[in-house]
Amino acid sequence: MTASRRAVATLLELAKSGYVMSGGQKASDLRASSAIALARIAGKETYEPFKALAEKETAAQGVFGSALARMQVANECNQDVNCYGKKLNDPAWERAEKAAFAIAEFTAAPTASGLRFAMADDTGTTIFSSELPAAGFVDVKGDGTQYRFRDTTGTLAGTNGVFLALVRRNPTQGTVLVRLKARDHEVPGVVNQPEVSVALGFGSDTGSCFGGLAVPCLARGSRVSCKR
């Protein structure tokens, strides 16, 4: 997810000016392939600048038109996964393809798949884990950039004391910021640890989406802080 969104700005620039020389003349092959790649992964925020580019295109008008059809789906659906689901049956295959790519992105949204967090000691042994269910998350702004989890009762199974989580996505930079708060739950395994490893992921698969290895820890009285 994040890697693909990080490529949007580069692909847009290549679609604008990525000419290559062939037989002493400018060729638009790279521009055309960049336009298609961009349209497959970009969201609503890229629609207007790409539309302006496609409307002026002459050298690869057909390809840019096909890419624009994909981008129209992003513009129409934005962050509505149900909208993309309906587009899967669109008679225009380019639009159906765009819907499929977009739905794949939604599997990395905590409202669709929840959030998993795990912490391991320097031997690789898990000393704390928490699974936050998708039902506890809300899309704060409705645009897929900020999600909040809140367990006011503290009774959700598997959370292990985590009652608040904030997930902020920056599609332009391809980054995700996650903050977790827990209470009434001891993590004795972190005491006297010189470093820990953390992993976070969306969904139920065993792989992590992002994390950190060998994060240094510092004990201060009864508190332990681990950060890099």
225: helix, strand or coil: strand
Residue 144 — pLDDT band, cuts 50, 70, 90? confident
Above 80 in pLDDT, residue 5? no
Residue 39 — pLDDT band, cuts 50, 70, 90? very high
The token pair at 137 is 């998350």
CB atoms within 10 A of CB 78: 17
**Which pLDDT value is given to residue 145?**
81
Least confident of 8-22, 87-101, 141-155: 141-155
HSE-up (13 A, CA, CB side) for residue 118: 16
**Crossing angle of helices 29-41/61-77, nearest 10°?**
10
pLDDT in tens, 193-222: 788 888 877 755 444 455 566 778 787 776
Arithmetic mean of pLDDT over the chain? 83
pLDDT in tens, 62-79: 999 999 999 999 999 987
- E strand or H helix that includes residue 118: strand 115-120
Beta-ladder partners of 168: 146, 177
Q: How far is CA 137 from the centre of its chain?
A: 15
More confident residue, 104 or 99: 99
**Hey, where are the domains in the chain?**
2-106, 110-226
More confident residue, 11 or 208: 11
**Which pLDDT value is given to residue 223?**
73
The token pair at 141 is 């702004």
To 5 degrees, how large is the angle CA 166–CA 167–CA 173?
140
Q: What are phi and psi of 85, to 5 degrees?
A: -60, -40
**Which pLDDT value is given to residue 2?**
43
Above 70 in pLDDT, residue 7? yes
- E strand or H helix that includes residue 52: helix 47-56
Mean pLDDT of 116-120: 87
